[in-house]
């Protein structure tokens, strides 16, 4: 079912997406024969003096605290059991018992989680009682919001420190002016702040890390709707500024700091970091990232992404409307002159689209009516004139097909059962539909991989076609790499990632608003609200408190059918 040419390129080049080359997640590397990242193996295989019989339960069930950045969750209390997901450092869950359920290859004993799965107590997790946590933890991710973390756009080249720097280190690497001293001439990374950047004057105040009684001033939030409509519609990156040129020449390897230096790595303009909290160190202010790095506060501008959201469709019967699989689909409210959402359905791709009216002789002329970027409507009529298809909205406006994207009833592949959940991704129209058998549940616009126009010397950027299943789900997954055309890129904690083949994935893209146009390097980009909805809808489910989950025989990954021909820019 897969496109042979694209598959060959993907295998040869380890094709990446979402703006550049994208490594397989660490949890998938083991499937390719690579060593698992981190201390997981050593910790789980620590020698254990196994008691002849498990101790008698004493007290209430233990709470579980994840100590390491990645903590494997096993299907059984054994090192060789399948890994069915992982926890992120700082996660807090509940065990089913007060004592371990076994000690095989785990000195501290295995605990079964109330969410299912087993974790090894010791270096990986700490089993504890009471409300006091064993250690400090970063701000946990939220699955209730459009984005699980707060995110920051890096506006200029700056260091990411391993710890908060001293004044002298900040002077050396940032060009910070120590009160009473001259700035270090030629300091690495020293440069004047971007125009309009907040000041870091020594007179700003000498408060230390803020307390809950004296919260720090809130940073400016740059929202998608602050961008001029023309920029948003063109698919321009939301973070792009005027009068500043992107850095050229470096690679991710050359941006790494010396292991003995306080600088962990250098961040380039255009990188993104996931944020934990901000604080002051003397006269200076920093963001702490989710990866426990420290970045100068004025170099970061917060991003929230597009507020575009797809459409829930009306189902044909009341019974279907109350089905568990489509519980989020509300009953239709059909008022006079209003058509309930259904297929076929269209989204307008530009607020400059011409509105047409149909004359008595069947011809079309310019009409009147307001048009909104990305507005959607059910199609109530269609007519072809010459080689142009016109579609009509319920309010009487007509549009040319070149100005809209159209979702139509897809054909269910034979491999998918009549009641199974599946996703239909139509590359030609840049549309994703969530399907329950032959019923459309939800539809939205996507941005798939760009069509190969000779701009990528490493191979094609087009999204792989074929019939797949979700192979892994990650609440977030960092994507970075180097490309011959775009240079290095780095996005920490890309939200709502679902891999379906090699490094191809569906995921949230909060850095642009060009949905409906191909623009990625292979992945399927979704607006933040849509990415969250699709992630929560698809199988396997992600248990509360977990950061990643893998399909099992009992809960296989949801089907994904990718088809059509990637269009050029219309």
Task: Name residue, tokens 């300091």.
Answer: 187
27-31: long-range pairs with CB below 8 Å, 24+: 27/70, 27/83, 27/86, 27/472, 27/474, 27/548, 27/550, 28/471, 28/472, 28/499, 30/83
Write out the two tokens for 508. 């949230």
Nearest to 294 by CA among 174, 202, 124: 174
What's the whole-number average pLDDT of the chain?
Answer: 80
**Could you tell me if residue 550 is left (phi over 0), alpha (psi between -120 and 50 degrees) or otherwise beta?**
beta
Q: Exposed, middle or buried by CB within 10 Å (0-12, 13-18, 19+), for 475?
A: buried
3-state SS class at 37: coil
Write out the two tokens for 298. 């004025």
Q: DSSP characters for 335-386?
A: -TT---S-SSEEEES-TTPPPEEE-TTS-EEE------TT-EEE--EEEEET
Full-model pTM: 0.80
**Structural domains present in the chain:** 4-27+418-563 (2.40.440.10), 34-128 (2.30.30.40), 150-303 (no CATH), 344-407 (2.30.30)
Verify cis geometry, omega within 30 degrees of 0, for the bond prior to 540: yes
Spell out the residues 6+ positions from residue 244 whose beta carbon is closer than 8 angstroms to its own: 156, 194, 269
**More reliable by pLDDT, 99 or 239:** 99
Percentage above 70 pLDDT, the chain: 71
* Residue-wise pLDDT tens digits, 303-318: 999 999 999 996 554 4
Task: Give the pLDDT band (50/70/90) at residue 207.
Answer: very low
Are the C-beta atoms of residues 110 and 79 closer than 8 Å to each other?
A: no
Angle at 500 between CA 497 and CA 504, to 5 degrees: 70
* Residue-wise pLDDT tens digits, 310-352: 999 965 544 444 444 444 433 334 444 455 689 999 999 999 9
3-state SS class at 563: strand
Chain Cα centroid distance, residue 175: 34
Mean pLDDT of 543-554: 97
* Residue-wise pLDDT tens digits, 153-185: 999 999 999 999 999 999 999 988 888 775 555
Q: Is the per-residue pLDDT at 359 higher than 80?
A: yes
pLDDT, residue 454, reads 62
**What does the alpha-carbon distance between residue 432 and residue 531 come to, in Å, rounded to a whole number?**
11
* Residue-wise pLDDT tens digits, 14-61: 335 644 333 333 333 222 222 223 333 334 544 444 554 555 656 899
SS (H, E, C) 119-136: EEECCCEEEECCCCCCCC
Write out the two tokens for 175. 């060009």
Q: Give φ, ψ of 301 to 5 degrees.
A: -120, 125
């Amino acid at each position: 079912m897969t496109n042979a040419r694209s598959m060959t390129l993907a295998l040869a080049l380890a094709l990446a997406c979402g703006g550049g080359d994208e490594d397989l997640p660490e949890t998938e590397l083991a499937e390719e024969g690579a060593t698992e990242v981190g201390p997981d193996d050593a910790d789980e295989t620590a020698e254990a003096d196994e008691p002849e019989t498990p101790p008698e339960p004493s007290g209430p069930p233990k709470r579980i605290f994840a100590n390491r950045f990645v903590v494997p969750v096993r299907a059984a209390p054994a090192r060789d059991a399948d890994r069915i997901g992982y926890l992120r450092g700082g996660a807090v869950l509940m065990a089913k018992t007060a004592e371990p359920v076994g000690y095989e290859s785990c000195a501290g004993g295995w605990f079964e989680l109330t969410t299912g799965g087993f974790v090894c107590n010791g270096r990986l997790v700490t089993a504890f009682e009471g409300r006091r946590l064993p250690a400090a933890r970063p701000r946990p991710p939220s699955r209730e919001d459009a984005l699980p973390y707060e995110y920051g756009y890096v506006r200029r080249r700056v260091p990411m420190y391993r710890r908060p720097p001293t004044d002298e280190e900040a002077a050396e690497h940032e060009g910070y002016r120590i009160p009473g001293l001259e700035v270090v001439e030629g300091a690495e990374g020293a440069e004047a702040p971007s125009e309009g950047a907040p000041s870091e004057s020594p007179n700003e105040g000498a408060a230390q890390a803020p307390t809950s009684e004296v919260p720090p001033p809130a940073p400016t939030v740059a929202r998608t709707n602050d961008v001029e409509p023309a920029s948003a519609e063109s698919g321009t990156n939301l973070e792009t500024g005027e009068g500043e040129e992107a850095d050229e020449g470096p690679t991710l390897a050359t941006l790494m700091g010396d292991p003995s230096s306080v600088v962990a790595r250098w961040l380039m303009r255009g990188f993104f970091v996931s944020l934990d909290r901000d604080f002051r160190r003397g006269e200076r202010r920093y963001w702490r990232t989710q990866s426990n790095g420290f970045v100068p506060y004025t170099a970061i501008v917060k991003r929230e992404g597009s507020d575009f959201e797809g459409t829930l469709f009306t189902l044909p019967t009341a019974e279907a409307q109350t089905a568990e699989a489509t519980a989020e689909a509300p009953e239709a409210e059909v008022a006079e002159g209003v058509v309930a959402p259904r297929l076929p359905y269209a989204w307008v791709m530009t607020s400059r689209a011409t509105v047409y009216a149909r004359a008595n002789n069947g011809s079309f002329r310019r009409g009147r009516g307001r048009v909104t970027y990305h507005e959607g409507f059910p199609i109530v009529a269609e007519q072809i004139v010459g080689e142009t298809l016109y579609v009509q909205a319920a309010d009487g406006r007509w549009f040319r097909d070149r100005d809209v994207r159209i979702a139509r009833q897809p054909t269910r592949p034979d491999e998918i059962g009549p009641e199974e959940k599946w996703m239909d991704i139509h590359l030609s129209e840049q549309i994703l539909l969530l399907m329950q058998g032959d019923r459309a549940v939800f539809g939205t616009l996507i941005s798939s991989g760009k069509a190969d126009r000779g701009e990528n010397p490493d191979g094609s950027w087009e999204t792989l076609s074929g019939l797949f299943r979700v192979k892994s789900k990650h609440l977030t997954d960092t994507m970075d790499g180097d490309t011959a055309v775009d240079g290095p890129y780095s996005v920490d904690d890309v939200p709502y990632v679902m891999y379906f083949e090699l490094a191809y994935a569906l995921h949230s893209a909060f850095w642009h608003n060009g949905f409906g146009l191909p623009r990625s390097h292979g992945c399927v980009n979704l607006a933040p609200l849509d990415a969250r909805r699709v992630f929560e809808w698809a199988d396997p489910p992600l248990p509360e408190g977990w950061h990643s989950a893998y399909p099992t025989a009992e809960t296989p990954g949801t089907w994904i059918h990718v088809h059509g021909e990637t269009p050029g820019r219309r």
